[in-house]
Amino acid sequence: MVSTVVHAGFALLLTVALLRGTVLDRRLGAVLVVLVVAPELDTVAGVVMSGAHRALFHTVVIPAVAVPLVYWDTRHRETSWIRHRWNDRGVRIVWVGLFVHVFAHLLLDYAHLEGINVLFPVYDQFFRLDGELFVSTVDGVSQTFFEIGINPQTGADQVNVGAVGTTEEVHVDNPVEPNDADEPQTEPADEPVDRRLPIAVHGWQLYMIVSGLFVAAARRLQTRRE
């Protein structure tokens, strides 16, 4: 599982790379916190909605709607609300924020556990990016992320793009719902529920966190010297 801290580390890396010359102040830090934390609020919705985590706020429908609205406001509207309120720096931060939201959060979760419900609520289906890409001395360039084959039962062509299941079929463990409520419990009823807030569960995740903090600190030092 990719923790919120890992998302934050990756978000820092992308922000520093994309906002060259921009000071990493408290206001920008607050924007990053909202971008990183907001999608995880669907864990709370999981209490009343089956399969809400990785679906309700992990859908690309939200940025798909936001992008044309921001473009219209900043490029075609006579008086841009965003530019009037936060000037040109605010416009840059909004665009980078949308990019960070998609790449540092949604797509990172897309490649882990059961993936994300990409088009929810327009289309209820979890998708996961899983596979490998390699060069073989026998088969040449091969990949298993997306596979095209023949259904052995019907004989029809089928495309495997990593579909996992619907919100009724998929449960992604999280601190609010560490276990699927529909599955039988394996632990004794008197045992305390183990709710874990992950920080880093693999070496690369810890590396991502440290790298993000280091790059952000380096940018701050460079800005002060200038």
Please report the pLDDT score of residue 207 as a whole number.
94
Statement to judge: residues 11 and 111 lie in one domain: yes
Tens digits of residue pLDDT in 162-194: 999 999 999 888 888 877 555 555 555 567 777
Statement to judge: residues 158 and 78 lie in one domain: no
Statement to judge: residues 118 and 139 lie in one domain: no
The reply to whether 157 falls in a domain is yes
Statement to judge: residues 114 and 212 lie in one domain: yes
Average per-residue pLDDT for the chain = 88
Q: Which of these ranges, 29-38, 59-68, 79-88, 204-213, has the smallest mean pLDDT?
A: 29-38
Statement to judge: residues 53 and 82 lie in one domain: yes
Tens digits of residue pLDDT in 71-127: 999 999 999 999 999 999 899 999 999 999 999 999 999 999 899 999 999 999 999
Query: Which of 147, 163, 179 marks a domain boundary?
Result: 163
For the chain, how far is it from start to end, CA to CA, in angstroms? 39
Q: How many domains does the chain have?
A: 2
Please report the pLDDT score of residue 193 as a whole number.
73
Structural domain for 79, as ranges: 4-124+201-225
Q: Residue 42 above 60 pLDDT?
A: yes
Please report the pLDDT score of residue 27 as a whole number.
81
Statement to judge: residues 214 and 143 lie in one domain: no
Q: Residue 202 above 80 pLDDT?
A: yes
The reply to whether 216 falls in a domain is yes
pTM score: 0.85
